[in-house]
Amino acid sequence: MFQILRNAWKVPDVRKKILYTLMMLLIFRLGAFLPIPGVNPSYIASQVSQYDILGFVNLMNGGALGNFTLFALGISPYINASIIMNLLTIAIPSLERMAKEDDGREKIERITRVVGVALGAVMALGFVLSMGSGAVLPSDTVPVWFTYIAIVLVATAGCALCMWIGERITEKGIGNGISLLIFAGIASQVLPTLISYFKMVFSGAITFWLVPVLVVLILVVVAALTLVDLGERRVPVQYAKRVVGRKMYGGNSTNIPMRVNQNGVMPLIFAMTIIQFPGMIAQFWPNSGFYAWYTKYLGSGSVIYMIVYALLIVGFAYFYTAISFNPIEISKNMQANGGFIPGIRPGRPTSDYLSKISTRLTLFSAVFLAVIAAVPTMLSSLMGGMSAFGATSLMILVSVALETSKTLEAELTMRNYKGFLK
């Protein structure tokens, strides 16, 4: 990877893209320190630390949510809007037809932006209202309702600005802008997390032997995530020869690369959201019997919590595969272009064969994600709170780094071919 960066820096066009990407990421990080007027950051930080799901969002935003700065919402509303639009595209035939057209994809992207901004406004309003009156600083000159409106508008504007930064990186920079913003937010918390661990060791809050165990565990998890992220099952495809006029087409061999972990980090995020939602509701009534039951049996780090968390990861892995991978459509496209899998008849047998492979890969990736998520989650609860070295954050860091490395390599390869053609 470092060799790729060194070679990319020598190419003027690629160097400009790298510098543009770094400049946009710097703007994103500066926005995480610009305070929103009228907010009590210390009170909000104390409230965010009580919820694991808010701690995860705060981690993705680089600590901006805990201080409720300009980029407090970050890119989360846009990600939620993208997930909603993807699900609606599968459920609504008109959107599915629109997604197959170039103009239609642009329309869906515009709708996603609008939905993202609307979700940002709803999330900002709900967050400020749920925190109570302590989240807003009292003022003798400005009405309270005006302060709430100003906070929601500024937070929504910050969300829209994050979306714009991500799109500019995708268009003029290197890699996927949305992924890089999440990467920058998590990476910015690595050093503070390490410092907090050392402080806990020196203060005697945790024993010293946990530090080397944590380091070894992180290295093992990173190596495993890298191996699985790069792993793929290549299904061979043979295309029959066709004569059109005086030209012959087809006759070549290729393959369908099916990634081992084709769902990425989405099952982890979905499972974490679902399992933390009852806890967030229960904490609004700390004296209730439901809160006591949830804390006793489903508290973070408990055995029942880990079992439910693992089952949710497996379930969402199959669910996300079902909505993102369509073997019937792949089989139809292969048959229309004269392609077939050796030893498998075209049509229904091909789709069944691809579905069988996808099911096996999903089972392996789901079990892998459940195992990978279990140990770091227990360590996070032992260390106290959401960590930058959790399973989800490490997977995001590894996958985005590999994706960006592949993009740089593709940029270099494309320029080598251009030079060869000249």
Sequence spans of domains, the chain: 1-189, 231-387
The SS3 of residue 70 is coil
Burial of residue 357, with CB atoms counted within 10 A of its CB: 0-12 exposed, 13-18 middle, 19 or more buried: middle
For 46-54, what is the mean pLDDT?
A: 72
pLDDT tops 80 at residue 214: no
Same fold for the domain at 1-189 and the one at 231-387? yes
**Lowest-pLDDT choice from 122-126, 332-336, 382-386:** 382-386
pLDDT tens across 237-264, in order? 888 776 666 666 666 778 888 888 887 7
**Mean pLDDT score of the chain, rounded to an integer?**
80
Q: What is the pLDDT of residue 388?
A: 56
In whole angstroms, give the CA distance from residue 237 to residue 342. Answer: 7
Instruction: Classify domain 1-189 at the CATH superfamily level.
Output: SecY subunit domain (1.10.3370.10)
Q: What is the pLDDT of residue 179?
A: 84
Do the Cβ atoms of 249 and 241 come closer than 8 Å? yes
Banded pLDDT at 421 (limits 50, 70, 90): very low
> Residue holding tokens 């079992």?
307
- Tell me the HSE value of 112 on the side-chain side, using a 13 A CA sphere: 25
pLDDT tops 70 at residue 271: yes
In whole angstroms, give the CA distance from residue 365 to residue 382. Answer: 26
Bridge partners of 339, per DSSP, are: 239
pLDDT tens across 60-112, in order? 777 788 788 888 888 888 888 887 887 788 778 888 888 777 788 888 888 88
pLDDT tens across 284-322, in order? 666 777 777 777 777 666 778 778 888 888 888 888 888
pLDDT tops 80 at residue 414: no
H or E stretch at 238: strand 232-239
Do the Cβ atoms of 260 and 232 come closer than 8 Å? yes
Do the Cβ atoms of 350 and 335 come closer than 8 Å? yes
> Residue holding tokens 């029942």?
304
Do the Cβ atoms of 345 and 358 come closer than 8 Å? no
The pLDDT > 90 percentage for the chain reads 8
pLDDT tops 90 at residue 23: yes
In whole angstroms, give the CA distance from residue 17 to residue 388. Answer: 28
Do the Cβ atoms of 50 and 28 come closer than 8 Å? no
For residue 163, count other CB atoms closer than 10 A to its CB: 23
Please name which of 359, 365, 390 lies closest in space to residue 313, comparing C-alpha atoms: 365
Fold of 231-387: Preprotein translocase SecY subunit (1.10.3370)
pLDDT tops 90 at residue 175: no
Please name which of 258, 254, 296 lies closest in space to residue 279, comparing C-alpha atoms: 296
